[in-house]
Chains A and B, each alone.
Chain A
Amino acid sequence: MAESVKDQVIAIIAEQAVLEVGDVNMDATLEDLGIDSLGLVESIFAIEEAFDISVPFNANDPSASEFDISTVKSIVGAVEGLVAQQKT
């Protein structure tokens, strides 16, 4: 059975944060998980590769990007949206 988008995103974040999947709280921010700016850019790259999508994100102004990175939950939601939108 294919993993859900949520499970895959959490797995990517967990790997980046060097945490067990079970330790990634949906309400945590990336900062809470110890992921810095380079870790964030690397996570987004991993997400793009895993789902074959393009994530609109500029590290200079994360808040202006359509991609909401405020919490794990918001990232999962944003990826689900992009997957639905970009699947042809």
Chain B
Amino acid sequence: MHRVVITGQGTINALGADVAQTLDAFKAGRCGIGALDIRDVDRLAIQIGGQVKNYDPNAEFNRQQIALYDRFTQFSLLAAREAIAQSGLTFSDQLAAQAGVVLGTAGGGMNTQDENYRAVYEEGKNRVHPFVVPKLMNNAAAAHLSMQYNLKGPSFTVATACASSNHAMGLAFQFVRSGMTKAMVTGGSESMLCFGGVKAWEGLRVMSKDACRPFSANRNGMVQGEGAAIFVFEEYEHAKARGADILAEVIGFAMSSDAADIVMPSKQGAARAISGALTDAGLNPSDVAYINAHGTGTAANDKTECAAVADVFGAHADRLMMSSTKSMHGHVIGGTGAIELLACIMALREDVVAPTINYEEPDPECALDVVPNEARDAKVDVALSNAFAFGGMNAVLALRKPN
């Protein structure tokens, strides 16, 4: 078994165009959720989201690239550029032959689907652009990363709804830990803030019209976000030998399935994933200082998650911190675990815990320290990141401060 460390991180999301801006927002408790600026927004009941604003694809990509890159691919490429530059790795020879890219996304090229369905159904066109299929396909972002960075090992996309990124990063972790490869590029991306994407979510009636307030008694649903976060996972000795800056160590991962309901979460399923991650990492529950919660802001998720944490941690549940940064960047669906890993790494590197903003009223069913409204200075040696998806598919990562 090899040790696995993170040597690069990159992002673009509603809080910022890179990691520095995102961490500044976490520390300030700044909200990136606002009025949606998308076509036909007036026909939506839900008109807010964590949208990436002030973003001009033409400033980043040329016309030929844009013809092939859906917005979720663009976000992946931008986040990867930052992460791989920070890692200092160049993929060539044996490293390139082994290294791959595993990304999480739930919807893939939703904007491309939306635009082209609109063209054929609403506008009655009988012809679409020749690249619609390679642009919308779920693995497009991973494919473009592999091509751009010469990643010739195992590459694929994981789609487990809201747990996609955590499943993806967990697999990348296992590949490096097993010795299969010295490095993997991993993370997740999502961009379904388009008319069809938001309309579909509206149907479930779990969306908030005004704000994402995880764990607060007056919470009234989730708010969708968009963006990507990408990381470089590297074998520890390989990173050490080249003097890389180690951001954090990935020490454990577990997955579970509720095998119960397609949308309602299960305390037992969540608890099995959390305790599984502790076991995989060789941790005692009391070692954990911070959990980045799934914390969607729905009635069902938040109380179930708190109950699961209380079950796994016992008395220690009252001593650890658990916050939901979805209150700031929104629920980035298949990309959300990756963006939330940034908050775990910040806690481990800087001993600053990102808050749960919009916290207004205590809920007896969520009676944990949710780091309400303001970031907190606190020593964090070990952090977990929870993701619990529709379909009852759960994935939890465990990270440690680099030493």
Cα(A63)–Cα(B205), bound, Å:
14
Point out the residue from B203, B219, B264 that lies within 8 Å of A60, measured CB to CB: B219
CA distance A84 to B323 in the complex (A): 45
Measured between C-beta atoms, what is the minimum distance from A37 to chain B in Å? 7
Contact B263 A64 (CB under 8 A): no
Contact B298 A60 (CB under 8 A): yes
Question: How long is the Cα–Cα vector from A54 to B220 in the complex, in angstroms?
Answer: 19
Determine whether the beta carbon of B299 is less than 8 Å from that of A44: no
Tell me how far the C-beta of A2 lies from the nearest C-beta in chain B, rounded to whole angstroms. 28
Q: How many A-B residue pairs have CB under 8 A?
A: 34
Which of chain B's residues have a CB closer than 8 A to the CB of A64?
220
Residues of chain A contacted by B220 (CB below 8 angstroms): 58, 60-61, 64
Q: Does A57 contact B (CB under 8 A)?
A: yes
Residue-wise interface mask of B (296-325) relative to A, using a CB-CB cutoff of 8 A (1 in contact, 0 not):
001110000000000000000000000000
Any B CB within 8 A of the CB of A38: yes
CB-defined contacts of A57 to chain B, threshold 8 Å: 205
A58-B220, A58-B221 given as contacts; is B205 within 8 A of A41 (CB)?
A: yes
By beta carbon, the residue of chain A nearest B207 is A58
| B221 pairs with A60, CB closer than 8 A | yes
Contact (Cβ within 8 A) A60 B299: yes
Complex interface residues of chain B between 251 and 276 (CB less than 8 A to chain A): 262-264
* A59 touches B (CB below 8 Å): yes
Contacts of A60 in B (CB 8 A): 206, 208, 219-221, 298-300
Query: B298 touching A37 by the CB < 8 A rule?
Result: no
How close is A40's CB to chain B, nearest CB, in angstroms?
9
Inter-subunit contact B299/A41 (CB<8 Å): no
Q: Which residue of chain B has the shortest Cβ distance to A56 in the bound complex?
A: B45
Known A-B contacts: A60-B298, A61-B220. Give 10 more (CB < 8 A): A37-B263, A41-B203, A58-B220, A58-B221, A59-B205, A59-B221, A59-B298, A60-B220, A60-B221, A64-B220
A residues within 8 Å of B by Cβ?
A: 36-38, 41, 44-45, 54, 57-61, 64
B interface, CB within 8 angstroms of A = 45, 203-206, 208, 219-221, 262-264, 298-300
Query: What are 9 inter-chain pairs, A to B, with CB distance below 8 A?
Result: A36-B264, A58-B221, A60-B206, A60-B219, A60-B221, A60-B298, A61-B220, A61-B299, A64-B220
